[in-house]
Amino acid sequence: DGSGNPEDFVARFSGSNRAVADYLAEDVLARQPAHIRRFLLRTSILRQLDASVCAALNPHADSAAILQQLDTDHLFLTPVASEPPTWRYHSLFADHLRQQLQQAYPDDVARLHLSASGWYESQGRPVPAIDHAIEGGDFPLAMQLLEQHAEDFLEQGRMRMLYRWCSSLPAAELQQRPRLVMAAIWATGFTRGPWSAMALLDQQEASGAIDARFQSDAMCVRPMLLAMQDRNDEALQLGREALTHLSGSQRFADCTLLNAMAHTLAVTGAPAQARQLLDAARQHHSGHSSFNRMYSESTEGLLDLQHGRLRQAGARFRLAVDATHAVNFHHTHGNAWAGVLYASVVYEGNHIEQAEHLLNVYLPLARDVGLPDHMILSHAMRARIAFIHGDVDAAWHALTELEYLGNQRKLPRVVAAAKLERARLLLLQGHAQAAHEELLRADQPEVWARERRQHLPAHDIEYLSLARLRWEVAFGDATPAVLALEAEVRQAAAGARQRRLLSLRLLQALALQRSGQPSAALGLLGEVLQTACQEGFMRLLLDEGPALGLLVQRYQTQQEGNAQRDPLMGEYLQRLLQAFGPLPVEVEKTAAMPCSLQEPLTRKEIRVLELLVEGYSNSAMAEKLYVSDSTVRTHLRNINAKLGAHNRTQAVAIARRLGVL
C-alpha cells in the first residue's frame, strides 16, 4: 500500500477482507527468503513464540536470530514478554500462515502440533501441551495429560478451559476415564449450568463406568448441583450425609462440598453453622485452591451483606473475584459466581459506571450458568442502571429477558422476581394501577413461602411482602402500613438480617411521614442514616426514589442547626442528595405554582412530559419521538416557561397539580 509499515496496513482491515490475504501472500510472504518462509509457516501453529519452542519445530534454523530479525523488520510480530523475549504473530498474519501451511504441507500440521505438545510437556507447561495434543488429533495423549493435571486446573478455577477441552474430546473415549468425566462435570456445572452437569453425572453412573474415586466425588458434587438448581432442601439433606463421608484425600471435592454446604446452610438460615464449615474449608485448602478461596470468600461475603456489613462484604467479593486470576487490576477475570456479587456491592456504593462495566462481563456468564440468585441480581441491576440513565426501554428489556429465562428454565422464583422488579419501576413512574397488577402477577405462594423460610440472596431486600407495603406507602393507606412494617422489622431483627432491617426502616420512615408523623419519621431516618453512613450504603436509599430524597433533605435541614453535627454525616448527606438529583417541589400549593395555564401545552409538549415522568433521558425521548436532542431541549424550555418551573422535576409536579398529567 506504499506505507512501508505492514502492521499499519493490516490494522486497517478486518479478518474477512480479501485484500489482506492477497497482500500478505503476494507482497510480504512471497518476498521472504525460503528459510524465513519455512520458519513462518512451521511456527504459525504457536500462540506465542520464543527461541526455544521455535527451535523445537525448526531444528536446523537459528530461531533466535530469525525472531530478532522479524522483530527488527516489524514483520507482524507483537512482543508479549521480555524475559525470555517472546512474541506473537498478528492474528491476520497467523491465520494466513496457517492456511498456507495447510495447503502446502497438510501432512506436517499434525506432526508440528505434536512436536509442540511434547516440547511444552517437557517444560512442565501442561496447558499448551494439551492444546497442541488436541489440535494434533492425539486424543489419548491429551487425555493422559489432562488426567495428570485436572485436579490442579480445578483448584485454579480454570473451569471454562476444562470445559472447552472436555467438549473437544471424543465422548466415548472420555467416558472410559471416570476421573476426566468428573472434571468435566465440575467444569460444566460452573460454565454451562447445574442441569447439564447433573445430566452428565447421571449418564456416567448409568453407564457403570465408575470407580470408588468417582463415587466419592459424586457424593460431593451432587449436593452442590442441587443447590445451584434452587433445590436447597434436597441439597441440605444429601449434603449432611456427604459430610460424614469426607475422604480427606480428595482435597478439591471435599473442600468444595464444605463450601457448598456452608452456602446452603447460609441460605437455609443457619449462619453460625455456615461459618464453621467455611473455617473448615479454609483449613482444608490452606490457600492452595484459588477456586475454593473464591467460593469461601463469596459465601462469607453474602453473610456479611445480610448482616449489613457492606464494606466487609465488598472486600470479600473483590478478593473472591481476583482469586481465580493471578494478575487482575479491573476485577473482570473471575467467574460469574463471585463477579455478580461484587458488581452488586459496587452498585450499592453508587459507582454506576464500574458496576455497568462488571455487568457487561458477568451478566452473560451468569445467564449461561443459570444460577437463580445470580440471574435475578444481575438482570435487576442491569434494569436499574438503565433506568438511572433514562433508558427505560433497556430496563424493560432486561426484565423481560429475566422473565423469559425463568420460564425457559422452569424457575418460578426467577419469573416472580422479574415481575416484582417490574412493579418497582412502575411504582417509581407513578403508575399505581399497573404496579398493583404486576404485584398480583408476582404473587406465587410457593415461591414466597420458601422465601419466608430461607435467606435467599436475591430477596434479602426485595420480596413480595415488602413490595406490597411499598405500594401501600406510595399509593394506599400509610397508617396501617406503619404497623405492618413494624412486624416485618421485628422478624428481620430476630433473624439478624440487618440489611433487610435498614430497608424496612427506610420504608417505615416514609410511612410515618405520609401518615402525618414527621418528627417520628425524621427520628427513625436519622437512626438508619447513621448505619448507612458508616457502611457506605447509597443505592439502598436512592432506589426508593424522590419521596425518600425529600425526607433526607428535611433531615439535612434539621441537622444544619445542630452544633454537634458529625462532619462525616454532613459529607454523606451532601453526596446522597447530590445523587438524588433535583427533587420534586412540595406537594402543597405555593406561590410558584400557578392555578391555571396562561398558554396551554401542545400535544407534543404533553407527550414530552409523559416521557419525562416515565424516566426517559433527553436522548431516549428524542429517539422515541423521532426528533433531535436539541428539539427535545426546546420542548423542555417551552414547558418550563409555560408552567413557571425551574427544572424538570418542578415541571412534572406542577403539571400533575394542574391536571395536565
Residue 20, pLDDT score: 61
Interval 222-236: pLDDT, tens: 999 999 999 999 999
Instruction: Give the helix/strand (H/E) hosting 93.
Output: helix 91-104
On the question of pLDDT at 15 being above 50, the answer is no
- For residue 641 the three cell numbers come to 416557561
Burial of 139 (0-12, 13-18, 19+ CB in 10 A): middle
User: In the chain, pLDDT over 70 holds for what percent of residues?
Assistant: 92
Residue 652, pLDDT score: 81
Interval 523-575: pLDDT, tens: 999 999 999 999 999 999 999 999 999 999 999 998 887 766 788 999 999 99
- Mean pLDDT, to the nearest integer, of 483-512? 96
Q: What is the C-alpha separation between 369 and 357, in angstroms, rounded?
A: 19
State the chain's mean pLDDT as an integer: 89
- For residue 506 the three cell numbers come to 427506610
CA 423 to chain centre: 23
On the question of pLDDT at 105 being above 60, the answer is yes
The 3-state DSSP composition of the chain as helix, strand, coil percent (nearest 5) reads 75, 0, 25
Asked if residue 50 lies in contact with residue 43, where contact means CB atoms within 8 angstroms, the answer is no
- Mean pLDDT, to the nearest integer, of 577-591? 70
Cα angle 487, 539, 554; round to 5: 75
Would you give the DSSP letter of residue 62? -
Residue 585, pLDDT score: 65
Residue 598, pLDDT score: 74
- Mean pLDDT, to the nearest integer, of 118-128? 96
- Mean pLDDT, to the nearest integer, of 467-480? 95
In the Cβ-directed half-sphere of 493, how many Cα atoms lie within 13 Å? 8
User: In the chain, pLDDT over 90 holds for what percent of residues?
Assistant: 69
- For residue 547 the three cell numbers come to 419521596
Q: What is the C-alpha separation between 292 and 298, in angstroms, rounded?
A: 10
Residue 567, pLDDT score: 86
Interval 588-618: pLDDT, tens: 444 455 566 778 888 888 888 888 888 888 8
Residue 335, pLDDT score: 76
DSSP assignment of 423-470 equals HHHHHHTT-HHHHHHHHHHH--HHHHHHHHHS--GGGSS--HHHHHHH
Residue 1, pLDDT score: 45
The gap between the terminal CA atoms of the chain, to the nearest Å, is: 63
- Mean pLDDT, to the nearest integer, of 292-321? 95
- Mean pLDDT, to the nearest integer, of 410-416? 95
Asked if residue 569 lies in contact with residue 530, where contact means CB atoms within 8 angstroms, the answer is yes
Cα angle 517, 523, 524; round to 5: 90
DSSP assignment of 155-204 equals HHT-HHHHHHHHHHS-HHHHHT-HHHHHHHHHHHHTTT-HHHHHHHHHHH
Tell which wins on pLDDT, 385 or 27: 385
- Dihedral (CA of 321, 327, 332, 333) sign: negative
Residue 287, pLDDT score: 65
Q: What is the C-alpha separation between 310 and 534, in angstroms, rounded?
A: 9
Among candidates 293, 292, 258, which has minimal Cα distance to 274? 258
Tell me which long-range contacts 358-366 makes (C-beta under 8 A, separation of at least 24).
358/331, 358/332, 359/385, 361/332, 362/332, 362/336, 365/335, 365/336, 365/339, 366/336, 366/339, 366/340
Would you give the DSSP letter of residue 592? T
